[in-house]
Structure 1
Amino acid sequence: MDQPTLYAEPGASWWPLLWGPVFALLGFGVEALTGVVRPLLWLVVAVALFLPTALWVQGRRKVYGVRLTPVALHQGREEVPVRDIAAVAGVEPRSGAKVLGGGWALPRGTEPVPVKLADGTVVMGWARDADALRAAVTRLLDRP
């Protein structure tokens, strides 16, 4: 069953997919100015640059995406059930705390969101807008 999304960060945008086609279009334009035009070559260049970029963007969206639903907090490839979260407000980060999502450290460009679990352990969540994620989780935990 699909749950409504209460907070989301995609991990990466799709705009880098334009790099290959724009580069190929510029190359085609330069060739058109010089007289010799090979449109098939530039089409192959556009596709050759587009495909690995699409894989890169899709991978970043899976590994660095953040999503909060009424049932779980998804941090990259890891999922923490909301019933296992005790608090996020006022939780102090602990040295050596496990980073959610499977990485060794917080993803670059993100801020820490310490999460206290029901068993008392503290794990390190993360988000680009840590305050917004913390507020969304707190609202969810405060529901009756």
Structure 2
Amino acid sequence: MRYLAANAHDRLVKKALDVVSILPNAFYLAEPRRCSDLMSEVVRLRSSLANHSHAQCGAYYAPGIRSSSGDPEPLSGIIAAKVEETDNTRGIGKAPANVTISGFGTLEQSLSPTEVSTLVGNSTEQSVNPIVHWGQTNKIWCPSFVHGSR
């Protein structure tokens, strides 16, 4: 499988964050680039986006998803639908925390508790919002902005 080069991904994300920052009520939903090692990609992403002036204008979610046929699918559309649903049920600006997501085949990888902690990071790190599998459901866990605030 071919993956988008890390530097190309970073340029794309930074430009998107810059553009979104000037649009009223806009927010950028992103996924780490697909690669063979999600945890290494998260560490690389944190370094690349450290101190980006518009990081509060976006959020990352991982791991990616696969369709029922096994093909990689964009996660951003499902997350956008859950953000809208949360806006309608909990109020605008509320994070889609502990929200069940469905309508796709499987997660690209199951996350261990340690991997979930690595994705979430701490309040000073750029955060990636984990999608976790609990029992029979998948949930958005611990949503935050790229810059780490929750």
| TM-score, scaled relative to structure 1 | 0.27
Give the structure with higher Rg (CA).
1
| TM-score, scaled relative to structure 2 | 0.26
| Higher percent of residues as helix | 1
